[in-house]
Amino acid sequence: MKNPVQENRMPQDAAWSQLWLCYTPRQDADNRAYVEQVSVSGFAMTDPVIRNAWQELQRGVGGMLDVRPVLREDAAIDRGLSVRRGETPAEGYALMEKNGMLTLTASDEKGVLYGIFHILRQIAQEKPLQGMRELCQPSNPLRMLNHWDNMDGSIERGYAGASFFFRDGEILIDGRTQDYARLAASVGINGVVLNNVNVKEQATWLITERYFDRVARIAEILAGYGIRLFLSLNYAAPMELDGPDSADPLCPEVVGWWRDKMAEVFRSIPNLGGFLVKADSEGRPGPFTYGRTQADGANMLADLVKPYGGVIIWRCFVYNCKQDWRDRKTDRARAGYDNFIGMDGAYHDNVILQIKNGPMDFQIREPVSPLLGGLTRTNQMLEVQIAQEYTGQQIDLCYLIPMFKETLDFKTYCGAAQDTVADIVGGRSFGSRLCGMAAVCNTGGDANWTGHDLAAANLYGFGRLAYDTSLAAEEIAAEWARMTYGCDRKTTDTVTALLMGSRGTYEKYTSPLGIGWMVEPNTHYGPNVDGYEYSRWGTYHRADHLGLGVDRTDAGTGYVRQYHEPNASRYNNVQECPEELLLFFHHLPYTYRLRSGKTLLQHIYDSHFEGVEEVERMIRAWEGLEGRVPDISYRNVRERLERQLHNAKEWRDQVNSYFYRKSGIGDEKGREIF
Ligand code: GCU
């Protein structure tokens, strides 16, 4: 049934591709008077960032309040919005309202842009501008999106269509490039890596004449929104381009080749921020190939980009991907720490080590990587993945912000006064200025950008959280819902509840208690309990007829000792170990009693049945929004939920049957297991 009052306020198909910047009509909330007249002082309207901010304001208030703001450059006004330069932290801003004047103060252009987006957020949520008193500043110096886009147009682990940056070896620049920049800037993103970390074939040539003009053009568009462009680099580029037949970081010819290359690159792409490097990982070449350290490799490049203000972001995803499943001593979880901790303090000051949130690989539940807090003398960046590789691939709903919050809130006991992961990557623990958060991005060429309409909440949420790590996941969810769907109360509440419950639901019907994997090899979607059990990837669950889990205690692989106390002892002790991570750290019998009094096996059965029931309830909740959200979105989400239900049942039945067959112990409640 349609609700006629809502209908004309909902975004229609064309506006839908604007996501949370759809700017459909909103209730005035007495906001109109603040945006009719705008004065700007201390900033040049010719500056691209300021110009874009002004255009966004016009577009936003035009759409939401039907106002055409009048600009009064350097003129005093007594009512309206006054933008002025003043003392605020970098990329921060103050918004103060008094007697009908809203003053936006910032010390730099980005602060103005973010302040304008803040005003638009307020209007979109039908919240009054009157009485505003806010001082906002970024929690993280770097807030980056990493695209895994390939130059043939495919996206590694992409679930929302083809790349909008590349097609058939060419760089695409069109309206979507600008919309992308607007969406990213609106949530405070200030760095973007354009291409996949696995740099192959044509992508190796991004640092050559062949692509300079187009890359420079993208860098310029992004710069207009306060975003610095970075590229992923092929560590073996000298060998594949016109350099020496080596990539040894200590070989003078190699260094000489890179020196000339960097001079050429930064001359041609002046706005370039630097490079992201995946070396010695999953078959990619790196310094280990030449008996050198990771620091040798990173520092060599860092020294050469330094004269241009460049930064080298070096990934810590280095592990042995040719493991023997029979070998119980080698533990992939240990690898990041073992490979990087020894050189802590040896990395030069424009190197940042980029560390995945967990020690394995973006599973639905992992402990926090012990490198975060282990390294105390090296710039660090947290890497998360909003592309839902292992978390439902944007078919299943999985709002990841609560998980990122858990990571950020984790107390590392690293010895600093402020010692959470948020403190470390925000630069508060060790005084680092080059640090922050990066997300492997979930966007693609689909009209709705993220495949699943509700997956856009992860893109939005990542940016908002990276800018302000004190925001609550629920607050962000509700904000996104209002921005996207308007302020209908039932819609906001339903969407927020769906988002907030989704991670727990996904966890229930997939792999239990932190063990991870059990996915279909290669595609990583859907269940295959033994899919990786006898493989070379180091991702085992070790289930037999008596129990399951990986022993990472002192008696096992000793991984627990990579944490500071008291975390190490807590994980080591089965009674104290957080239950959601129990099987990550311990191998336990199916009859082991959890705190709930249930056996481990019964917990597996129950949670899998519950997971499917929760998806059924999610579908009913969404159906309650028919006519309240745009049809196009209603249908998209309805279709995804249907596929999610199918997937959840497949997971439930395969996981439950697997453990029933292994253990020979049935479900206490006598439900159907196959
Ligand atoms: C995962 C993913 C790969 C990716 C890798 C990485 O293993 O499956 O596709 O290349 O992470 O982060 O480098």
Cα(511) to ligand 1 centroid in Å equals: 19
What distance in Å separates the CA atoms of residue 254 and residue 231, rounded to the nearest whole number? 20
Cα(233) to ligand 1 centroid in Å equals: 15
Residue 235 has pLDDT above 70, yes or no: yes
74 or 182: which carries more pLDDT confidence? 182
Residue 461 has pLDDT above 50, yes or no: yes
Nearest residue (by CA) to ligand 1, atom 11, is: 361
Nearest residue (by CA) to ligand 1, atom 1, is: 361
Determine contact, residues 140/384, Cβ cutoff 8 Å.
no
Least confident window among 53-67, 272-286, 653-667 = 272-286
Regarding the beta carbon of 453 and ligand 1, being less than 6 Å apart is answered no
Atom of ligand 1 nearest to the CA of 440: 12
Mean pLDDT in residue range 635-646:
98
Joined together, the tokens standing for residue 626 give 């028919």
What distance in Å separates the CA atoms of residue 407 and residue 369, rounded to the nearest whole number? 9
Cα(278) to ligand 1 centroid in Å equals: 10
Q: In this predicted structure, what is the pLDDT of residue 3? A: 39
Regarding the beta carbon of 317 and ligand 1, being less than 6 Å apart is answered yes
DSSP3 helix / strand / coil % (the chain, rounded to 5): 40, 15, 45
Report CA-CA distances (Å) from 149 to 173, 202, 444, 471, 643. 14, 12, 9, 30, 26
Q: Name the residues annotated as catalytic.
A: 282, 361, 389
pLDDT grade for 16, boundaries at 50, 70 and 90: confident
Cα(639) to ligand 1 centroid in Å equals: 28
Mind listing the pLDDT tens digit for each residue in 572-624?
999 999 999 999 999 999 999 999 999 999 999 999 999 999 999 999 999 99
Nearest to 412 by CA among 435, 433, 400, 430: 430
Q: In this predicted structure, what is the pLDDT of residue 377? A: 97
Cα(361) to ligand 1 centroid in Å equals: 8
Q: In this predicted structure, what is the pLDDT of residue 76? A: 84
Residue 11 has pLDDT above 70, yes or no: no
Alpha helices in 71-127 (DSSP H): 109-124
Report CA-CA distances (Å) from 58 to 269, 324, 483. 31, 60, 17
Regarding the beta carbon of 441 and ligand 1, being less than 6 Å apart is answered no
Regarding the beta carbon of 361 and ligand 1, being less than 6 Å apart is answered yes
Mean pLDDT in residue range 640-667:
98
Identity of the amino acid at 664: G
Tell me the Ramachandran region of residue 412: left when phi exceeds 0, alpha when psi lies from -120 to 50, beta otherwise.
Answer: alpha
The count of C-alpha atoms lying within 13 angstroms of the C-alpha of 340, restricted to the half-sphere facing its C-beta, is 33
Regarding the beta carbon of 198 and ligand 1, being less than 6 Å apart is answered yes
Q: In this predicted structure, what is the pLDDT of residue 4? A: 37
Mean pLDDT in residue range 147-153:
98
Joined together, the tokens standing for residue 302 give 């860092």
Q: In this predicted structure, what is the pLDDT of residue 498? A: 98
Determine contact, residues 81/40, Cβ cutoff 8 Å.
no
Which residue reads 């490039």 in tokens? 177
Q: In this predicted structure, what is the pLDDT of residue 73? A: 80
Nearest residue (by CA) to ligand 1, atom 12, is: 317
Q: In this predicted structure, what is the pLDDT of residue 13? A: 65
Regarding the beta carbon of 277 and ligand 1, being less than 6 Å apart is answered no
Determine contact, residues 122/482, Cβ cutoff 8 Å.
no
Mind listing the pLDDT tens digit for each residue in 404-422?
999 999 999 999 999 999 9
What distance in Å separates the CA atoms of residue 194 and residue 202, rounded to the nearest whole number? 14
What distance in Å separates the CA atoms of residue 240 and residue 93, rounded to the nearest whole number? 46
pLDDT grade for 285, boundaries at 50, 70 and 90: confident
Regarding the beta carbon of 356 and ligand 1, being less than 6 Å apart is answered no
What distance in Å separates the CA atoms of residue 439 and residue 477, rounded to the nearest whole number? 18
What distance in Å separates the CA atoms of residue 341 and residue 380, rounded to the nearest whole number? 12
Cα(416) to ligand 1 centroid in Å equals: 32
Regarding the beta carbon of 157 and ligand 1, being less than 6 Å apart is answered yes
Which of 147, 317, 354 to probe ligand 1 with, by most ligand atoms within 8 A of CB? 317
Q: In this predicted structure, what is the pLDDT of residue 659? A: 98
Domains and CATH numbers, the chain: 27-136 (3.30.379.10), 142-471 (3.20.20.80), 509-550+587-663 (3.90.1330.10)
Mean pLDDT in residue range 132-141:
98
Please give the full DSSP string across 4-66, using - where no structure is assigned. Answer: HHHHTTS--HHHHTTGGG-------TT-GGGTSEEEEESS-TTSHHHHHHHHHHHHHHHHHH-
Q: In this predicted structure, what is the pLDDT of residue 258? A: 98
Mind listing the pLDDT tens digit for each residue in 30-74?
999 999 999 999 999 999 999 999 999 999 999 999 999 999 987
Mean pLDDT in residue range 235-261:
97
Which of 157, 232, 519 to probe ligand 1 with, by most ligand atoms within 8 A of CB? 157
Regarding the beta carbon of 405 and ligand 1, being less than 6 Å apart is answered no
Q: What are phi and psi of 414, to 5 degrees?
A: -80, 0
Q: In this predicted structure, what is the pLDDT of residue 6? A: 42
Cα(294) to ligand 1 centroid in Å equals: 19
Identity of the amino acid at 549: G
Q: What percentage of the chain reaches a pLDDT higher than 90?
A: 96
Cα(219) to ligand 1 centroid in Å equals: 25
Mind listing the pLDDT tens digit for each residue in 520-537?
999 999 999 999 999 999
User: Burial, 504: exposed, middle or buried (Cβ in 10 Å; 0-12, 13-18, 19+)?
Assistant: middle
pLDDT grade for 7, boundaries at 50, 70 and 90: very low
Report CA-CA distances (Å) from 514 to 173, 233, 351, 365, 650. 42, 33, 32, 5, 19
Which of 282, 369, 381 to probe ligand 1 with, by most ligand atoms within 8 A of CB? 282
Report the chain's mean pLDDT, rounded to a whole number: 96
Which of 154, 313, 361 to probe ligand 1 with, by most ligand atoms within 8 A of CB? 361
10 or 132: which carries more pLDDT confidence? 132
Report the first-to-last Cα separation within the chain, whole angstroms: 41
